[in-house]
Amino acid sequence: MTDPAVAVFVLVFAGLFGLVIGSFLNVVVYRMPAGIPLTRESRCPSCDAPVRPWQNVPVISWLALRGRCASCGASISTRYPAVELATAAAFVAVAWWALYAVEEPGFTASVAPVVIAYLYLAAISVALTLIDLDVHRLPNAIVLPAYPVLLGLFTLACVLGADWAALLQAVAGGIVLYAFYLVLRLVRPAGMGGGDVKLAGVLGIALGWLGWGALVVGAFAAFLLGGVFGLALLATKRAGRKTAIPFGPWMIAGAWIGIFAGDAVARWYTGLIFAG
């Protein structure tokens, strides 16, 4: 059981760290699809005035500026503070999950790389969701490095004492989910993008590390969410049968359901079958 004072400190730190990362993700989401280098200094898109350091504080600056550029008064989208807050919420959720949901014999050294792996996954989840919604793409520059980053951190966790079987499961999970999406893409090329297949491998690794329950629930939840949303759009005539709805955000949302609740759902479901 974690000391409550330590838990509060960890959760607050995770939230503040999430705000900073969210601020960086705003830059990634805006610049990467447009091909603007990430290192260039930030400027107002309307008047080209450089953004001063004090105007770069997550959420606070937006509130202090009342959502307007200090130079020309052009409005700054509420999306910026919203992304910062969403990333902070995601980081707090991962920290909470690590503190209370992951069954570990005490807080061992091997937990640290695992938590970093899921924080990293949370960060790229936010970026990929927004970019896929904006331009219907899942950039290789974000998806492909996730393979070595996740596998590297999980390997480090094993070196520090985590079960090597979990690493094997992570690799197997990545292969299984990648192959599953590859088959879907070959069967119906219009339904899946190549980016979805590559993302599936990443999510499979993250889910596989936690077990087969997480993998199955995470994969199934994506289709359930995507299907329900698609039917709702059709029913309300907001979309025709041919409207391209990006699937990446549903894969990501489903994966997080698998990560946070996969084991519980799998236990409940098998209990349902074997009790009845």
Residues in contact with Zn ion, shown as a per-residue x/- string from 67 to 106 under the rule CB under 5 A: --x-xx-x--------------------------------
Secondary-structure percent of the chain, ordered helix, strand, coil, rounded to 5: 70, 0, 30
- Output the smallest distance, CB 202 to Zn ion, in A: 37
What stretch of H or E contains 263?
Answer: helix 248-275
Of 67 and 139, the one with the shorter C-beta distance to Zn ion is 67
Of 56 and 108, the one with the shorter C-beta distance to Zn ion is 56
- Output the smallest distance, CB 110 to Zn ion, in A: 48
Q: Burial code of 147-164, b = ≥16 C-beta within 10 A, e = fewer?
A: eebbbebbbbbbeeebee
Helix (H, G, I), strand (E, B) or coil at 111: helix
Within residues 141-170, the interface with Zn ion by CB under 5 A covers none
Q: Is 25 in the site for Zn ion (CB under 5 A)?
A: no
Of 69 and 176, the one with the shorter C-beta distance to Zn ion is 69
Q: Which two tokens stand for residue 272?
A: 């349902």
| Cα distance between residue 272 and residue 51, in whole Å | 57
Residues 67 and 49: beta-carbon distance below 8 Å: no
DSSP state of 255: H
Q: Residues binding Zn ion: what is the number (CB under 5 A)?
A: 8
| Cα distance between residue 130 and residue 118, in whole Å | 18
Residues in contact with Zn ion, shown as a per-residue x/- string from 208 to 227 under the rule CB under 5 A: --------------------
Tell the residue number behind the tokens 């197997």, with chain if given: 172
Helix (H, G, I), strand (E, B) or coil at 43: strand
43 phi/psi in degrees, rounded to 5: -135, 155
Within residues 37-66, the interface with Zn ion by CB under 5 A covers 44, 46-47, 49
- Output the smallest distance, CB 43 to Zn ion, in A: 8
Of 27 and 184, the one with the shorter C-beta distance to Zn ion is 27
Of 48 and 103, the one with the shorter C-beta distance to Zn ion is 48
Of 55 and 110, the one with the shorter C-beta distance to Zn ion is 55
- Binding stretches for Zn ion (CB under 5 A): 44, 46-47, 49, 69, 71-72, 74
